[in-house]
Structure 1
Amino acid sequence: MNAIWRKEWVNEFESPWSLFEKLSLANVVNRDDILKILGSKDVKAIKGYMIGNIRREFFDLSGFDEELLTEVFNYKFVEKVKSSIEKIISPLDYFGHSNSSSWFFPQLRWCNECLSVGHHSWLHQFRLIEKCPYHNCPLFESCPQCKTIFPFLLSNERMQEAFTCKCGYKLVDFSNELWNNWNTQIRINDISVINWLSKSRSEESRYLFLPDQCNINLVTESSPKIATEHFSYDKNLIKLDDLSYHSHFNKELYSRNINIFHTVDRYIRKTLLKSHKHCIHQFWNLLKNEDEEFPTICPYAYAYVNWRKTLLKLEYFHRKNTRGDDISRTKKSGFELATDFITNEIKTLFEEFITQSEKKRGINKDALFWVHDQWTLRFGIKLFYAWLNCAENVLKREKRVNWNDVQQIVSSVQTKLAFKYTTNHFQKIRENTHIRVIC
Structure 2
Amino acid sequence: MSEVEEKDLEQKSLQQLFADSQETLEEAQARKSAEELTFTRFKNFIMDKAKTYRIRILPLSPKDERRGYEHPVRQKWLKINNPDTGKDINIKVCRAIDAGYSVDLIDTYKKLALDAVKGDKDLEDKIKNGSFGGGLKYDYNHAMYIYDLDNMEEGMMIWEASNGQWKGLEDQKDPVWKKLVEKNKNPKYPCPISSFDKGYPVEIQKKKGPKTEYVFSIDILGDSLPLDEKQLSDLVKAPLLTDIVKRYTKYHLGATIEFLKQYDETIGQNIMSNEEMVNAIEILKGELPADDTSSFSFKKGDNGNDEPDDAITYDKLSAMYDDLTGKGITDKSDEGQNLRSLIAEYIKSRNLSVKVERKKTNMTLLDEIEAELEALGEEPSAKTSQSTSVNSKEEKEDLQEEDNESNEEDCPNQDATAEPAVGRRKRK
Q: TM-score, normalized by length of structure 1? A: 0.22
Structure with the larger RCO, 1 or 2 (CA within 8 Å, 6+ apart): 2
Q: TM-score, normalized by length of structure 2? A: 0.23
More strand by share: 2
Query: Which structure is larger by alpha-carbon Rg, 1 or 2?
Result: 1
